[in-house]
Amino acid sequence: MQTRVAVMSIILEDSTCAEPVNAVLHQYGRYIIGRMGIPYRQKNIHIISVAVDAPQDAISAMAGKLGRIDGVNIKTAYSNFTSQSEEEPPKI
């Protein structure tokens, strides 16, 4: 299975959407390399950066699920780096 490295930038405009965002991130946790969250209290928003190494389909599915949550804006930047993983794809 071929995987790609990507960075997802997530902006939460409403703190009530934090729980569904965390649920999606937990669902795809096996692909997450690292995560950083920054509360921007002056603007009442939260900024999350998530680095992933996953199959293209999994990255797209995770971004789609996050993007459908009200109050969430997401952009994904893909690296040109790909690798072969010996793991079997998870059932998500």
Domains of the chain by residue range: 2-80
**In the predicted structure, residue 10 carries a pLDDT above the cut 90:** yes
CATH fold group of domain 2-80? Alpha-Beta Plaits (3.30.70)
Asked whether the whole model's pTM tops 0.75, one would answer yes
Q: How confident is the model at residue 82 (pLDDT cuts 50, 70, 90)?
A: confident
Angle between helices 18-27 and 56-67 in degrees, nearest 10: 170
Mean pLDDT of the 64-90 span: 86
35 vs 53: CA distance, rounded Å: 12
7 vs 72: CA distance, rounded Å: 16
Q: How many CB atoms lie within 10 A of CB 17?
A: 17
The tens digit of pLDDT for each residue in 44-74 reads 999 999 999 999 999 999 999 999 999 999 9
